Structure 1
Amino acid sequence: MAITAFANLKGGVGKSLISMGCAHAAAADGKRVLLIDADPQGNTSIQMTNGEISPDTPARASLADVLDRQSGVAIDDAITPSRRDGIDLLPCGFDALQVVQNALFGKPGAENSLSRVLRPIADRWDAVFIDTRPATDLLTINALMAADNMVMILEPEIGAVRGGHQTQRAIDELEKYLDKGLVTAGVVINRVDIRRNDHLEMLAQIRRMTEEEEVTILGEPIPLMADLSRLSAVGMGLDEHPKKTARSRNIAEVFHNIVKGIEAAA
């Protein structure tokens, strides 16, 4: 079992989509997965419950309650089933998670708040995936400190690559100042439009960069795909596609290979 954080300090690269896709791929292989939503925006919480959890209808307990030192809520009380068998969810808590982060700031051991409650129970699952927010704040630091490894999500855009470099610098600082050695399991390249020359050029640049830095690219690059976005929006995996196509099967296999790569890095 390994705890994996999906990260990039650039927003909009598809961290939620990839973390959910990996959870579905693992569940399709018969594995039990805990999916943690550490982003107050809450896309993972909303989509993995098909909207049953939302800012208007919050969960009975959430990551916000678990991290709140005044709440007394145990992590077991905040974990809830997702819409898919085999995937459990620790929902974010939306705005309350931001409030709790602000309250934790400056408290002793604040950066290890998630690790302290997650580590004792993590072995109940075959994999634990953490969806992070695009910010170098206490929530993201908690996710990285709790993780065994990290998957960098990139898209073939200069902003995403810069965000990847910023994320790596943040990880280097965790090692330097908090003695946290975090393994980079690999890079996932998302939202590739092969019709665009600039995407093809940036894809080649990412391949050169990862080769120079000896970082593995996990799976094949994931193309822009409307079906993937539509299924993700209602918490469904590609293997649950009602009208499977050769393309959807191929992308589903990419997610299986990403999960295998994460397991190999554990």
Structure 2
Amino acid sequence: MSNLLARDTDTHGITTLTLNQPERRNSLSMAMLDALSEALTDIAADDVTRVVVIAAAGTVFCAGHDLREIRDQLDSHEFQLALFNRCSEVMQQVVNLPKPVIARVAGVATAAGCQLVASCDLAVAADSARFATPGVNIGLFCSTPMVALSRNLSRKHAMEMLLTGEMISAVRAEQLGLVNRIVDESLLDETVHAMARTIAEKSGHTLKIGKGAFYKQLEMPLAEAYDYTAKVMAENLRADDAREGICAFLDKRKPEWKDR
């Protein structure tokens, strides 16, 4: 694993990916994006990981793109396009990963860092965490972060963050739907891992089906979404774990998942 990104998997099948460049505010440089992409590709194929936690070392979760790197490449449109495309690919990897992803947010998450939080399935933040899409303040509108943000927040709330560039508190982020829970920073790890363990105890096959269907139906008209999800549920019932889960519930025993 790249020294930019630490990776650890515990006995519950919870894999933590830690952005590990605090001296650069854990910015999403091309190298960091490559490291994240490689890790997510590996995790998608492994049989051990059941839940992913994305965390960060230091006092900043992620400050977005590396502005020094961007400044050094200001005259290279090719690099700029490659950088934003790469970032977009990584965010879609998070969404398309067949395993739930939880953002563990301590400190500041801005621009593409806020985009990363919004791209995760769940997010738990310390009460001191703050969020912003401040690109407008430096003449670079947060257009790609807007994609993830607008799929989490209402239109007017997303536009307020994008147009003002102002920092919002963890409390406000929870109110707007950007994060699920806020806790005292001393309880952050405990809360994140309790949530991850709860999810990790479910059938991995069922989680894969459900996560994929959730994002797919969001883009459909109502009738089409119901037609699609009815087929998903009927197909889900053919799985060994669905049969085991129903029988275990009726027999009042704990299910034994086969993840198939």
Q: Where on the TM-score scale, by shorter chain, does this alignment land: which range?
A: 0.3 to 0.5
| TM-score between both structures, scaled by the size of structure 1 | 0.33
Q: Larger relative contact order (C-alpha < 8 A, sep ≥ 6)?
A: 1
State the structure with more CA Rg: 2
TM-score, scaled relative to structure 2? 0.33
